[in-house]
A and B are shown apart, each in its own frame.
Chain A
Amino acid sequence: MLFPTMIFGLFFLVTYASTWSLNRENERRKQFLLLASWVFYAWWDWRFVGLLIASAVLNWFVAKQIGDSEDRKTRHRLVALGVVINLIILGFFKYYGFFVEQAGELLKLAGWERDLPLMHVILPIGISFFTFQGMSYVIDVHRGKCPKAHSLLDVMLLMSFFPHLVAGPIVRASDLLPQFAKAPKLSREMAAHGLLLIAWGLFKKTVIASELASGLVDPVFFDPTAYGAGDLIGAAYGYAVQIYCDFSAYSDIAIGVAALLGYRFPRNFDQPYRSRSLQEFWRRWHISLSNWLRDYLYVPLGGNRGGLVRTCINLMITMLLGGLWHGAAWTFIAWGAIHGTALIIERVWWSAIRKPDWPRMSPVWGVLITFNVVCLAWILFRSDSFATAMAYLQGLSRWTAPTLLTPFIVTLIVGGLALHALPSRAIERAASWLCRIPSPAAGLTIGLLILLVEAVRPAGIAPFIYFQF
């Protein structure tokens, strides 16, 4: 069930009406939300609802044992068990084919060619998100950052809650479990913010991201050799705008839907292309994943506590695994390596090379350099193989007149980038106005905004890019 579809609209209306009618009975409200979340997930493939339930039961059980145990060693063993179980689930469904293929290649190189048991494992959508969520719950209970959940229902809902289920944001247990403890209270500010986020997300996904995908990015990345430098540069920038509008739209709609049901999700994007450094970029892009990788990978590896060399190694490991998290392919690992290298260069520059009395570079240069490094890395991220990425990069020296960069497409790219020049917290400010007007006027405003989007959007909508991760 995709967010920008009629069926999701109907699903949401029924869920909204039913959950608020159960507002005085928090347990039943949560049970209903859990059922609704399973229906939402089963719409894609009902068989994987079982996986979702099994994963939640395992995490609940391990966290309960950790919470009940007084012995430090036992708690350590249990948290290790919880992490391993989650990694096995993720590893089997997401990386089994990739690792078997790589093992086959290695054996071939060593002269021991074998027919390895290749299976076509279907990748359950959102598995990277819900396993990371389960893992963070178990680790947080172990670290004492979050008390164990009151019931299995809370853990199941934490992992299955439909707004964030398939593409995040990765909401921590410490954020969501306290909200599940009592029936939520809706405020007009929260509702207005949610409604505006939904309309804004629909615009970004269905108008900007979809048109850029079909009109420029997909054809160019399908066969980069058929295009000249103009189209290739345009498609690289176009993809930067497309993936931002696609993924941030999903997050916006998820945050908006959750807000209308009375729950607060953390912000996931904060105008990332206005970052002046890669470090800042990762504080603004997919914030919930960056924070997850920082808290559960980078810091446990030692963070920046072991000197410059150790910090650089930790940064590279974190970014390589961050790349692998996005998909089982070398192109994603290379994407992570580019980001890791850029972060290391920044770190070395600031702590070892740059003298304090050197003049500061203009922030504009920082933004331009960071954006272009990010776009270069997106080429690897979007290409289906290294061969395609190399053909793409070689084509950048082949100048022919652009064929796909029409005024419409250029407007979308420039418009998508111009979103980063909007005042920060613009939606929040608009929401503070919207919540003060009478409800019929607010409804008309939201209805007209969605009508505008509906009038210009293409008929079919491709799934969100992050569904595959």
Chain B
Amino acid sequence: MMSDDIIPPVEPPAPEAEPATPPAARGRPPLIELAEAAGFAFSEPTDEDLLADHARRWTSRAILVATLLLAALNSPSIQTWATTLPPTWGSQTIDDLAEVWTGRLEQLGLDQPRTEVHDHYQAFQQLNWRDVTRALRVRRPPAGNPTAHR
């Protein structure tokens, strides 16, 4: 017993950690192998590369979301652009597609936010000084009747 207390039981040696598979020995994606065969050179990424890759993915996703949002909510601009293209088979195709795309999104009401902003902005553009003075007068309460504007 005592000896058992003093001398710890002999434990089997811990299995040696398996050496990490060298990067070069790992299976490389077929696309990279194909690219290497075409003469492109690739090296293993460092931590700095991984950070930069992460930032690039963040940027690409942000650009993608912004592009999709604009394609959905800004379809009139796509159609306006399509109509300005010189008349060719390609531009006519783009024009037709843009028309269908804009029509579908209008049915869904997705053109509304842009139209609302546009209409308000145009109303502001049309204002003259008389309108501004009138608007200011309406807001100002008449003298002696401070509750009249309510």
The chain A residues found within 8 Å of chain B, CB to CB, are 5-7, 13, 16-17, 20, 23-25, 28, 185-188, 190-191, 195, 260, 406-408, 439-440, 442-444, 446-448, 450-452, 454-456, 459
A448 pairs with B117, CB closer than 8 A: no
From B51, B52, B59, A260 is in contact (CB under 8 Å) with B59
Min distance, Cβ A256 to any Cβ of chain B, angstroms: 12
Min distance, Cβ B120 to any Cβ of chain A, angstroms: 9
Min distance, Cβ B72 to any Cβ of chain A, angstroms: 9
Convert B62-81 into 0s and 1s, putting 1 for each residue whose CB lies closer than 8 angstroms to a CB of A: 11111111100110011011
A208 to B129, CA, bound (A): 20
> A7-B81, A188-B58 known; A444 and B124 CB under 8 Å?
no
B70 pairs with A447, CB closer than 8 A: yes
Min distance, Cβ A412 to any Cβ of chain B, angstroms: 10
The chain B residues found within 8 Å of chain A, CB to CB, are 40-43, 48-49, 51-52, 55-70, 73-74, 77-78, 80-81, 113-115, 117-118, 121, 124-129, 131-132
From B41, B52, B124, B132, A25 is in contact (CB under 8 Å) with B41
A27 to B100, CA, bound (A): 42
CB-CB under 8 A from B68, the residues of chain A are 447
A5 to B125, CA, bound (A): 23
A5 to B127, CA, bound (A): 29
A16 to B56, CA, bound (A): 11
From A6, A24, A187, A443, B66 is in contact (CB under 8 Å) with A443
Chain B residue with minimal CB distance to A184? Answer: B52
Chain B residue with minimal CB distance to A448? Answer: B69
From B66, B77, B126, B132, A447 is in contact (CB under 8 Å) with B66
A443 to B124, CA, bound (A): 29
Min distance, Cβ B52 to any Cβ of chain A, angstroms: 4
Chain B residue with minimal CB distance to A452? Answer: B117
CB-CB under 8 A from B78, the residues of chain A are 6
B118 pairs with A191, CB closer than 8 A: no
A447 pairs with B69, CB closer than 8 A: yes
B127 pairs with A439, CB closer than 8 A: no
B41 pairs with A24, CB closer than 8 A: yes
14 further interface pairs, Cβ-Cβ under 8 Å (given A195-B63, A447-B69, A450-B74):
A24-B41, A191-B58, A191-B62, A195-B59, A260-B63, A407-B127, A407-B128, A408-B127, A442-B62, A443-B66, A444-B69, A455-B74, A455-B115, A459-B80
A133 to B67, CA, bound (A): 34
CB-CB under 8 A from A188, the residues of chain B are 55, 58-59
15 interchain pairs, CB-CB under 8 A = A13-B63, A16-B60, A185-B48, A186-B56, A407-B131, A439-B57, A439-B62, A440-B61, A447-B66, A451-B74, A451-B113, A454-B70, A454-B77, A455-B121, A456-B117
Chain A residue with minimal CB distance to B54? Answer: A188
Min distance, Cβ B37 to any Cβ of chain A, angstroms: 14
Min distance, Cβ A94 to any Cβ of chain B, angstroms: 30
A104 to B98, CA, bound (A): 55
Chain A residue with minimal CB distance to B84? Answer: A460
From B43, B57, B65, B114, A454 is in contact (CB under 8 Å) with B114
CB-CB under 8 A from B41, the residues of chain A are 24-25
CB-CB under 8 A from A408, the residues of chain B are 124-127
CB-CB under 8 A from A446, the residues of chain B are 62, 66
B42 pairs with A455, CB closer than 8 A: no
> A13-B67, A407-B129, A451-B74 known; A186 and B81 CB under 8 Å?
no
A5 pairs with B114, CB closer than 8 A: no
A20 to B127, CA, bound (A): 48
CB-CB under 8 A from B115, the residues of chain A are 455
Chain B residue with minimal CB distance to A442? Answer: B62
B81 pairs with A5, CB closer than 8 A: yes
Chain A residue with minimal CB distance to B124? Answer: A408
A24 pairs with B43, CB closer than 8 A: yes
CB-CB under 8 A from B62, the residues of chain A are 191, 195, 439-440, 442-443, 446
For B42, B49, B62, the residue with the greatest tally of chain A CB atoms inside 10 Å of its CB is B62
B65 pairs with A444, CB closer than 8 A: yes
B52 pairs with A186, CB closer than 8 A: yes
B63 pairs with A16, CB closer than 8 A: yes
B42 pairs with A454, CB closer than 8 A: no
B59 pairs with A191, CB closer than 8 A: yes
From B43, B57, B70, A451 is in contact (CB under 8 Å) with B70
Min distance, Cβ B94 to any Cβ of chain A, angstroms: 10
CB-CB under 8 A from B61, the residues of chain A are 439-440, 443
Chain A residue with minimal CB distance to B45? Answer: A24
> A24-B42, A24-B43, A443-B65 known; A185 and B117 CB under 8 Å?
no
Chain A residue with minimal CB distance to B56? Answer: A186
